[in-house]
Amino acid sequence: MPATSNTASLSQRLASAPADWHRDALAELDGASVLVTGGTGSFGRRFVETILTAARPRRVIIFSRDEFKQYEMQQHLGPEWGSRLRFFIGDVRDRERLEMAMRDVDLCVHAAALKHVPAAEYNPMECIHTNVYGAENVVRAALNTGVRKVVALSTDKAANPINLYGASKLASDKIFIAANNLTGSLGTRFSVVRYGNVVGSRGSVLPFFRKLIDDGAQTLPITDARMTRFWITLQHGVEFVISSFALMQGGEIFVPKIPSMRIVDMARAMAPHLPHRVVGIRPGEKLHEVMITEDDSRQTFELADRYVIEPAFTFWSHESYEKLGARPVPDGFRYASDTNTDWLDADRLTALLAGTP
């Protein structure tokens, strides 16, 4: 997607939103030095494109392991951003390299992770080293260099995890939340954004179905006819992270209100002429995803576009959220893909694929 294609929609949506934090979201980035771990991934690329065209960051640092992806990203963005962009080859497993990259950084988005569920099951220590020890390294590097705010990307699989990837991201979430207890006079704040499957991202079922259809498949494989998932567009995820920087106090888990869809309905919407073939659930896979558990409901409140799971900190204050109309969710509330009140149909799925807000 061209770097300028989302500028108007982002600015208009954030500027016209009813809550004050949206109006301050882009201003949070103006003049700031921003670092993105995993910056050459799907999220990182879109996030960098968005903030370069919709805000005025002083410097944007892409921190990732793959020099060829960095080269491709640099070519895609073009030379006009050269004075603001920095490409750092490095791994979140390497704390010294992280500290070098984070010098004079104001805001950090932690998007680096090993995300493939079966690969994590087969290579558990690699998953732990990147997702758990990597989270610790980001926290320590941010504290040692005086980064102002850190937002870490999580996943719906971190709530009641049944696979190692989800468990590692739950551990990562706990590390970032607890890091707020270590900041002292530094003032560094850490928060987490947790959302569902990204429409069209690498590894999601949608491009998999699309490839099968394009290759002339006679059937589409369905793991289970009952399976549901949360869905969010890449641009919505980027905008949600930007708004979270402006809203965060430190220690929150932000969960967007997003729609669900049955996998079988997605298959029918994409290829109504093809029959389905049930292949069974893969190891470590759930029938339905949960983003807020019943136990979390006691610490969760609701805003217009999101839920916020608050931390159990003595410094925590409801006041700023109460001004935005926050209200507690009912005790026993559960935000799950099968009990969601917002559902995608074929038309809305088509609109999402077309990039419609």
- For residues 271 and 172, which has the higher predicted lDDT (pLDDT)? 172
**What integer is the mean pLDDT of 276-281?**
88
Residue 19: pLDDT over 60? no
Q: pLDDT tens for residues 108-137? A: 999 999 988 889 999 999 999 999 999 999
Question: Could you tell me the pLDDT band of residue 355, with boundaries at 50, 70 and 90?
Answer: low
Which amino acids are annotated catalytic? 157
**What integer is the mean pLDDT of 71-95?**
92
Residue 317: pLDDT over 70? yes
Q: Which domains does the chain have, with CATH numbers?
A: 7-198+231-258+292-335 (3.40.50.720)
Chain mean pLDDT for the chain: 88
Q: Give which of 157, 163, 153 is closest to 124, Cα–Cα.
A: 163
Residue 151: pLDDT over 80? yes
At 100 the pLDDT is: 97
Residue 7: pLDDT over 50? no
Return d(Cα 35, Cα 27) in angstroms, integer: 17
Rounded to the nearest 10 degrees, the angle between the axes of helix 164-178 and helix 134-145 is 20
At 350 the pLDDT is: 80
**What integer is the mean pLDDT of 160-187?**
94
Quick one: how far is CA 57 from the chain centroid? 20
At 253 the pLDDT is: 97
At 357 the pLDDT is: 42
What residues contact 354, with CB distance under 8 A and at least 6 apart? none
DSSP designation for 41? S
Question: Could you tell me the pLDDT band of residue 23, with boundaries at 50, 70 and 90?
Answer: low
At 200 the pLDDT is: 65
Q: What distances in angstroms separate CA 253 from CA 160, 177, 228, 327, one per listed residue?
A: 15, 8, 22, 16
The DSSP annotation for 50-82 comes to: HHHHHS--SEEEEEES-HHHHHHHHHHH-GGGT
